[in-house]
Structure 1
Amino acid sequence: MLDRYQNYLIRDWQPDDRIAAAEVIKNALAEYGLGWEPDGADRDVIDVEQYYLDRGGEFWVIEDNGTIVGTSAYYPCIVASAALENRDTKAVEIRKMYLHSKTRGQGLGKYLLGQLEKSIFDRGYREIRIETASVLTAAVKLYESSGYLPVTEVETSRCDRAYVKKM
């Protein structure tokens, strides 16, 4: 991925991005009173290769004049429990869609979601899942206004909402 939105550069994650990407996510979570979980829900940011790249997913970073100000990613879903065995095998989960506070409100989140969806559907996946927390009101509004429907299968302890979109 190499793309631009306004003055922002959207590109594939590189190993040198690990700390800066983690800081963006950690700071965004803190703004909303949510904790950074490097040994739990955020382990995937510490090991992007294992959780995203080796599994056929993608992890993008967003730069503003060479500084990472956002992240967005997805990976193919893996059935984690008997309750979720009805998941479509051609499904992915969008994760780690976070933006620095100075980049919000400019349409970048909506643009990123659209680019993720395009990449996902171009790769043959037909179902997208997303988990989020209710306190992330802009994210909830974005997903709901983009055709994502609420579901009850929440797997991440920090999240209390889950959505699905099928093509």
Structure 2
Amino acid sequence: MRKYQSQDQEAIIKMIDYIYREYGDKIYLEGADSDLLDIEANYLQDGEFWVEQASTGQIIACIAVKKSTQNSSNPLIASLKRFYLLPEYRGSGLAQQMHNTVIEWCKQNHVAQIYLWSDTRFTRAHSFYRKHGYEQKGIRDMNDGAMPYQEYYFIKNIM
């Protein structure tokens, strides 16, 4: 796994679109996925974005984290974002390695909690999150994609 480079942008967008199409959806750069049009500004100022490549050079996975503080009395929190693996790499241990990288980054950056929103259709991902100590806390309706969808909220204490 390596840190994002600007030349990765198009391949990341294509990979995520491919994964969305597994679920009858598509990438929506005009709304929900507009952060991918400027990964540097959206992730690299207060976080990190990583990719995994196959031996062919193809981007096969990505993951990002972005920290934020709600106010000075709250612990530092971070959002887990853009955690995607092509289908043929799921179950290979790669997701675990990528997640470990994010958790280590959080510890180094004094992040006490990590949270994420995940499309309700991504049931395999939800099993992964629960297995790794995330608690499912809520659900919301979304209208910023190519079609309406719902997301589950997950949170995990790190420190």
Check conservation: 1:77, 1:89, Cα contact below 8 A.
no
Q: 1:48 aligns with which of 28, 39, 42?
A: 39
What is the rounded CA distance, in whole Å, between the counterparts of 1:74 and 1:156 in structure 2?
A: 21
Check conservation: 1:88, 1:127, Cα contact below 8 A.
no
Quick check: 1:140 aligned with 2:126? Answer: yes
Partner of 1:57: 47
Q: Deviations over 1:24-76 (max 9, x none)?
A: 1111111122331212221111110111012x200001100111111100112
Q: How many residues align?
A: 152
Partner of 2:14: 23
Check conservation: 1:41, 1:156, Cα contact below 8 A.
no
**Secondary structure, counterpart of 1:161 in structure 2:** strand
What is the rounded CA distance, in whole Å, between the counterparts of 1:89 and 1:35 in structure 2?
A: 35
What is the rounded CA distance, in whole Å, between the counterparts of 1:108 and 1:159 in structure 2?
A: 26
AA in 2 matched with 1:62: E
**Secondary structure, counterpart of 2:128 in structure 1:** helix
- Residues 1:123 and 1:153: Cα distance change in structure 2 (over 3 Å): farther
**Secondary structure, counterpart of 1:124 in structure 2:** coil
Check conservation: 2:49, 2:65, Cα contact below 8 A.
yes
Q: Percent identity over the alignment?
A: 25
The runs of 5 or more residues in structure 1 that have no matched partner are 1-9, 80-84
The runs of 5 or more residues in structure 2 that have no matched partner are 144-148
Q: 1:149 aligns with which of 123, 128, 135?
A: 135
CA RMSD of aligned residues (A): 2.2
How far the C-alpha of 1:155 sits from its partner, in A, is 8.1
Partner of 1:103: 89
Q: 1:73 aligns with which of 57, 64, 74?
A: 64
Check conservation: 2:69, 2:76, Cα contact below 8 A.
no
Q: TM-score, normalised by structure 2?
A: 0.86
**Secondary structure, counterpart of 1:52 in structure 2:** helix
What is the rounded CA distance, in whole Å, between the counterparts of 1:159 and 1:12 in structure 2?
A: 30
How far the C-alpha of 1:152 sits from its partner, in A, is 2.3
Which stretch of the first structure deviates more once superposed, 35-44 or 92-101?
35-44
What is the rounded CA distance, in whole Å, between the counterparts of 2:14 and 2:127 in structure 1?
A: 24
- Residues 1:11 and 1:155: Cα distance change in structure 2 (over 3 Å): farther
- Residues 1:113 and 1:74: Cα distance change in structure 2 (over 3 Å): same
- Residues 1:116 and 1:108: Cα distance change in structure 2 (over 3 Å): same
**Secondary structure, counterpart of 1:119 in structure 2:** helix
